[in-house]
């Protein structure tokens, strides 16, 4: 060591691999025995570069962050962002940063990553030329794209296709130029490339393979106007993104005399220690491993990070190579390769399934002895986790069973339970099936989140999460733990299964469902606070299709409702109610504004503009509700369903009608959608928004379903959430016509209602449902289950049977009878409901009083009135 003081570890570079190294240090207790200093060139801590393109789907840089400030603080890690290392003095063992900071080290770890390769073509530095590597690169591309119409990507590999998808999402006509004869030449073979090409061209992108870029053409102002290709042709384009591969970033190492490979990369041994200096290590894309490779994937970098941490801790560890398997979704297309995907070992056989019409291509490489050597999957990578885990062994079923789709004559599918314990399930963190089983049996983990926390499996790229869930359930069942998936103590079925029973058997009452399909112990009983509102919601959702009453207060239905639905208004903390009329799209005529003002004045109500572009009136006593509704209905208003687990609002910007940036009529679309889906009962409340351009003033990507206008139509986003656990929505489909948009929203909402759990937001449902967004897209866009006609018919029935609940209530004496504070004294107001003045309005006089609600979820969700 260089001193008797606390030894110092200096990490140069804070990307994904650098952050994993810090975590590995912490896991071994090394942050308690060492000073740890990190010099980071970028202006932000480590973020998920694998998911970089999700920025264009609404993720923020903060969403992509991999660095918890609390982690750095807890472990005393000194992070210097925007202050890269400039020089290394190996003799003095010091690193000097750009700011002039000098840090002495006992151990130096270089995690400087790689830099984009830009072909040496004329004018490559012209205005309008970009690379695709960092968040700042994306900011620059996004800004320049606003004044561009056409974009071209040089490179048809992983990042190239992601960049092309980003440009298309920004509204540009997009070209891909790839020198190799096929897209993704490293990962897929000729057949896979052909399937990928058909799919990509079907999305409206222009692909040019087998040609190189000869020159960037510029105009008089020096900005890009086109590209000249090696075949003599020329592309007109305003913007060029170079994504032609990366090179190890080893300049710092070269400058301080460390050995590098002939083609770049800091030369290291099996402990990732540089061959030149025992005090210096290199990990990630800047390192040339002992096997002569520079690994460009995150999983090998993670392994290298763990190896160095173990070596510092004086543990036995070595990096001798890594699995190069990859599973990605590029432009919405599943693409995966694993093992010896191209059969380079020789003397092997191929098992191929191809369906060019559906864009599917699957190839397995099989050794003469039956060993699975590798494979390529394009269009459907569902079996990736199982196939990769079997690589290097003889699967217990015939190879065709692993690639043929269901119903195509394949024998029984092979599940992850058949994998050996040594099979690697999570390649990012090298977690085996045996380790996952141990988390369940030895560490008593009973859920996937618990297993993730225990083993780190599923916390990297996420491609193994589905297999992880299947293994956890299988291990629990094998351990004798009954995995009860029933809705509650009354029903052994899930909510989804109860939905199917109600639909198939036309069950119109809770009592019938409980007595015929409930658990034996629950039949004849009264049910519980979990299943009664859940079943009430199912029956309400399906009412037109099954012949049940369509009003939530009809007959038995009234007794099943939550407190808010029971009175068609939101119960507030002092026992009063709020009233929210529907204002589709936030558009309201002056006459209606005057009516709301007069009602609020006459009944002494507190008024507030909500976040969903409506007006909320607070402070109504229960007996006043029908009187207020009557005046609202006379003025042309209807219930805004602020009280229900149903559609609340479809928020809107002003769109192209008024805004100079708008490209579509967002107000009209918002009104059409809100009027179509009003009153739709669902597992959880639904919110939507329509933005007239990419500037996103309506915040559509925080909604359950959000719509953003493009020059070619509408982009549909789903699964967003503005609640307690915010989640950006995911892009489901692009450039839709009005009719296509409505059809997909119909399908999405009815599929969600059909398969979601009780009180499950679309955001949680999308993360939980097997296959996630990919599966939902397959079902609602591609009709993979053949149920889209049924979903559309169910929605059509809802639309045609819609009736305003307020209007029907005020015209029904039987329903009106419930709207009293005291049944035995109907003319007596509740004395508890009292107010005091505040800011020229009123507020409850009992701020600490809470009212008993049924069930508990009302306390959390029922008072939200947006």
Higher pLDDT, 208 or 764: 208
In a domain, 331, yes or no: no
pLDDT for the residue numbered 320:
85
Q: Within a 10 A sphere around the Cβ of 370, how many other Cβ atoms?
A: 12
Model confidence band, residue 853 (pLDDT cutoffs 50, 70, 90): very low
Assess whether pLDDT exceeds 80 at residue 184: yes
Assess whether pLDDT exceeds 60 at residue 856: no
Higher pLDDT, 526 or 463: 526
In a domain, 469, yes or no: no
Assess whether 818 and 799 both reside in one domain: no
Rounded mean pLDDT, 98-118: 95
623, β-bridge pairs: none
Assess whether pLDDT exceeds 60 at residue 863: no
pLDDT for the residue numbered 538:
93
Of 507, 542, 561, which marks where a domain is finished? Answer: 561
Q: How far apart are CA 343 and CA 348, in angstroms?
A: 7
In a domain, 371, yes or no: no
Joined tokens for residue 450: 């618990």
Assess whether 284 and 198 both reside in one domain: no
In a domain, 555, yes or no: yes
pLDDT for the residue numbered 465:
77
> pLDDT tens digit string along 415-450?
677 777 877 788 777 788 888 888 888 888 887 778
Which conformational region is residue 526 in: left (phi greater than 0), alpha (psi within -120 to 50 degrees), or beta?
alpha
Query: How far is residue 699 CA from its own chain's centroid?
Result: 16
Assess whether 198 and 305 both reside in one domain: no
> pLDDT tens digit string along 265-300?
999 999 999 999 999 999 999 999 998 999 988 889
Assess whether pLDDT exceeds 70 at residue 333: yes
Q: Which helix (H) or strand (E) holds 668?
A: helix 666-677
Of 214, 244, 274, which marks where a domain is finished? Answer: 244
Assess whether 204 and 217 both reside in one domain: yes
Q: How far apart are CA 695 and CA 693, in angstroms?
A: 5
> pLDDT tens digit string along 631-642?
999 999 999 999
Assess whether pLDDT exceeds 90 at residue 768: no
Q: How far apart are CA 681 and CA 805, in angstroms?
A: 12
Model confidence band, residue 858 (pLDDT cutoffs 50, 70, 90): very low
Model confidence band, residue 854 (pLDDT cutoffs 50, 70, 90): very low
In a domain, 665, yes or no: yes
Q: Within a 10 A sphere around the Cβ of 444, how many other Cβ atoms?
A: 10
Q: How far apart are CA 772 and CA 462, in angstroms?
A: 11
653 annotated as ligand-binding = yes
Assess whether 677 and 773 both reside in one domain: yes
Higher pLDDT, 7 or 386: 7
Assess whether pLDDT exceeds 90 at residue 230: yes
Rounded mean pLDDT, 326-338: 76
Structural domain harbouring 711? 647-803
464 annotated as ligand-binding = no
Assess whether pLDDT exceeds 80 at residue 156: yes
CATH number, domain containing residue 172: 3.50.50.60
Assess whether 55 and 182 both reside in one domain: no
445 annotated as ligand-binding = no
pLDDT for the residue numbered 53:
83
Assess whether pLDDT exceeds 50 at residue 862: no
pLDDT for the residue numbered 194:
85
Model confidence band, residue 771 (pLDDT cutoffs 50, 70, 90): confident
Distances (CA, A) of 487 to 470, 527, 759: 20, 12, 11
Model confidence band, residue 16 (pLDDT cutoffs 50, 70, 90): very high
528 annotated as ligand-binding = no
Query: Based on the number of CB atoms within 10 Å of its own CB, is 417 exposed (0-12), middle (13-18) or buried (19 or more)?
Result: middle
CATH number, domain containing residue 571: 3.90.480
Strand order in the sheet with 647-652: 647-652, 686-691, 705-710, 713-718, 730-736
**DSSP per residue, 301-325:** HHHHHHHHHHHHTT-----------
CATH number, domain containing residue 788: 3.30.413.10
Distances (CA, A) of 234 to 110, 164, 213, 215: 42, 18, 10, 9
Of 312, 337, 365, which marks where a domain is finished? Answer: 312
In a domain, 41, yes or no: yes
Assess whether 36 and 141 both reside in one domain: no
pLDDT for the residue numbered 851:
37
> pLDDT tens digit string along 368-413?
888 889 888 888 777 787 788 788 888 877 777 777 764 444 444 5
Assess whether 174 and 264 both reside in one domain: no
Mean pLDDT, rounded, of the chain: 87
236, β-bridge pairs: 226
pLDDT for the residue numbered 409:
45
pLDDT for the residue numbered 864:
36
Assess whether 681 and 792 both reside in one domain: yes
Higher pLDDT, 305 or 328: 305
pLDDT for the residue numbered 724:
59
In sequence order, the 6+-apart residues with CB closer than 8 A to the CB of 67 are: 14, 19, 45, 46, 47, 79
Judge contact between 753 and 499, C-beta under 8 A. Answer: yes
Assess whether pLDDT exceeds 80 at residue 708: yes
Distances (CA, A) of 191 to 181, 197, 332, 363, 484: 12, 10, 19, 9, 44
pLDDT for the residue numbered 204:
85
The SS3 call for residue 666 is: helix
Q: What percent of the chain has pLDDT over 70?
A: 93
> pLDDT tens digit string along 537-546?
999 899 888 8
Assess whether 625 and 695 both reside in one domain: no
pLDDT for the residue numbered 407:
42
- pTM of the predicted model as reported, rounded to 2 decimal places: 0.56
Model confidence band, residue 723 (pLDDT cutoffs 50, 70, 90): low
Assess whether 553 and 570 both reside in one domain: no
Query: Of the ranges 64-73, 224-233, 844-853, which one carries the lowest mean pLDDT score?
Result: 844-853
In a domain, 237, yes or no: yes
Assess whether pLDDT exceeds 50 at residue 152: yes
In sequence order, the 6+-apart residues with CB closer than 8 A to the CB of 380 are: 334, 360, 362, 405
Model confidence band, residue 463 (pLDDT cutoffs 50, 70, 90): low
Q: What percent of the chain has pLDDT over 90?
A: 53
In a domain, 327, yes or no: no
Higher pLDDT, 853 or 507: 507
Total count of domains within the chain: 5
In sequence order, the 6+-apart residues with CB closer than 8 A to the CB of 126 are: 216, 218, 222, 223, 224
Q: Which helix (H) or strand (E) holds 712?
A: none
In sequence order, the 6+-apart residues with CB closer than 8 A to the CB of 837 are: 843
Assess whether pLDDT exceeds 60 at residue 857: no
Looking up tokens 């151990």, which residue turns up?
A: 107
pLDDT for the residue numbered 7:
95
Assess whether 177 and 224 both reside in one domain: yes
Q: Which residues of 321-354 are buried (b: 16+ CB within 10 A; e: fewer)?
A: ebbbbbbbbbbbbbbbbbbbbbbeeeebeebebb
pLDDT for the residue numbered 580:
92
pLDDT for the residue numbered 629:
95
């Amino acid at each position: 060591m260089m001193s008797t003081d606390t030894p110092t570890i200096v990490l140069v570079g804070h990307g994904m691999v650098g952050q994993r190294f810090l975590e590995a240090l912490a896991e071994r207790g090394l942050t308690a025995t060492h000073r740890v200093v990190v010099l980071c060139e970028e202006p932000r801590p480590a973020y998920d570069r694998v998911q970089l393109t999700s920025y264009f789907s609404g993720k923020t840089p903060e969403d992509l962050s991999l660095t918890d400030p609390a982690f750095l603080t807890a472990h005393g890690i000194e992070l210097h962002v925007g202050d890269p290392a400039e020089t290394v003095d190996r003799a003095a063992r010091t690193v000097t940063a750009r700011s002039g900071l000098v840090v002495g080290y006992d151990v130096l770890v270089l995690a400087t990553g790689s830099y984009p390769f830009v072909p040496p073509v004329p004018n490559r530095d012209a205005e309008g030329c970009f690379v695709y590597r960092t968040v700042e690169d994306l900011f620059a591309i996004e800004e320049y794209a606003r004044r561009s119409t056409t974009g071209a990507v040089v490179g048809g590999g992983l990042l190239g296709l992601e960049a092309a998808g980003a440009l298309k999402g920004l509204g540009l006509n997009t070209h891909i130029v790839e020198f190799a004869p096929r897209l993704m030449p490293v990962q897929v073979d000729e057949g896979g490339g052909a399937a990928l090409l058909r799919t990509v061209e079907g999305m409206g992108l222009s692909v040019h393979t087998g040609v190189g870029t000869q020159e960037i053409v510029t105009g008089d102002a020096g900005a890009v106007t086109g590209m000249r290709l090696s075949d003599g042709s020329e592309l007109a384009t305003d913007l060029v993104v170079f994504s032609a591969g990366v090179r190890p970033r080893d300049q710092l190492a070269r400058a301080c005399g460390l050995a590098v490979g002939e083609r770049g990369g800091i030369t290291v041994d099996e402990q990732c220690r540089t061959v030149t200096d025992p005090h210096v290590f290199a990990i990630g894309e800047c390192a040339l491993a002992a096997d002569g490779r520079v690994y460009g994937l995150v999983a090998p970098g993670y392994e290298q990070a763990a190896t160095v941490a173990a070596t510092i801790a004086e543990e036995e560890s070595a990096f001798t190579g890594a699995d190069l398997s990859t599973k990605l979704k590029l432009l919405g297309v599943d693409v995966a390769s694993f093992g010896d995907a191209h059969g380079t070992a020789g003397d092997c056989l191929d098992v191929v399934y191809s369906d060019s019409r559906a864009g599917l291509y699957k190839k397995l490489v099989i050794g003469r002895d039956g060993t699975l050597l590798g494979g390529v999957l394009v269009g459907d990578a569902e079996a990736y986790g199982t196939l990769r885990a079997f690589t290097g062994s003889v699967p217990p079923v015939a190879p065709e069973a692993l690639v043929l789709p269901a119903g195509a004559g394949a024998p029984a599918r092979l599940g992850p339970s058949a994998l050996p314990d040594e099979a690697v399930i999570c390649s990012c963190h090298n977690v085996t099936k045996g380790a996952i089983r141990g988390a369940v049996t030895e560490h008593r983990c009973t859920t996937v989140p618990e297993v993730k926390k225990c083993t780190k499996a599923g916390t990297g790229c996420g491609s193994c999460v589905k297999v992880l869930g299947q293994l956890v359930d299988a291990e629990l069942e094998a351990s004798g733990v009954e995995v009860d998936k029933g809705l509650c103590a009354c029903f052994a079925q899930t909510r989804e299964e109860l939905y199917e029973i109600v639909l198939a058997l036309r069950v119109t009452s809770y009592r019938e469902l409980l007595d015929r399909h409930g658990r034996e112990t629950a039949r004849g009983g009264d049910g519980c606070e979990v299943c009664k509102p859940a079943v009430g919601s199912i029956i309400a959702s399906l009412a037109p299709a099954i012949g049940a009453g369509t009003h939530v207060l009809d007959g038995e239905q009234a007794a099943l409702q939550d407190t808010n639905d029971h009175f068609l208004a939101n119960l507030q903390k002092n026992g009063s109610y709020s009233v929210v009329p529907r204002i589709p799209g936030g558009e309201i005529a002056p006459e209606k504004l005057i009516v709301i003002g007069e009602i609020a004045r006459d009944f002494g109500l507190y008024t507030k503009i909500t976040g969903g572009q409506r007006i909320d009136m607070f402070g109504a006593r229960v007996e006043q509700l029908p009187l207020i509704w009557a005046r609202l209905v006379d003025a042309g208003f209807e219930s805004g369903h602020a009280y229900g687990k149903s559609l609340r609002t479809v928020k809107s910007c002003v769109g192209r009608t008024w805004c100079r940036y708008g490209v579509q009529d967002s107000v009209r679309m918002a009104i059409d959608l809100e009027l179509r889906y009003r009153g739709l009962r669902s597992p959880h409340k639904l919110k939507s928004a329509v933005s007239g351009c990419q500037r996103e003033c309506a915040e559509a990507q925080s909604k359950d379903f959000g719509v953003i206008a493009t020059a070619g139509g509408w982009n549909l986003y789903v699964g967003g959430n503005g609640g307690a656990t915010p989640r950006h929505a995911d892009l489901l489909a692009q450039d839709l016509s009005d009719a296509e948009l409505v059809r997909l929203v119909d399908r999405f909402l009815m599929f969600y209602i059909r398969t979601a759990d009780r009180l499950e937001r679309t955001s949680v449902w999308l993360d939980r449902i097997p296959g996630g967004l990919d599966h939902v897209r397959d079902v609602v866009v591609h009709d993979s289950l053949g149920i889209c006609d049924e979903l559309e018919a169910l929605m059509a029935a809802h639309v045609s049977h819609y009736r305003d609940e307020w209007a029907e209530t005020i015209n029904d004496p039987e329903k009106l009878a419930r709207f009293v504070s005291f049944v035995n004294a109907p003319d007596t107001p509740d004395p508890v409901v009292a107010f005091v003045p505040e800011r020229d309005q009123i507020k409850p006089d009992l701020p600490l009083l809470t009212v008993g609600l049924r069930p508990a979820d009302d306390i959390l969700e029922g008072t939200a009135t947006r």
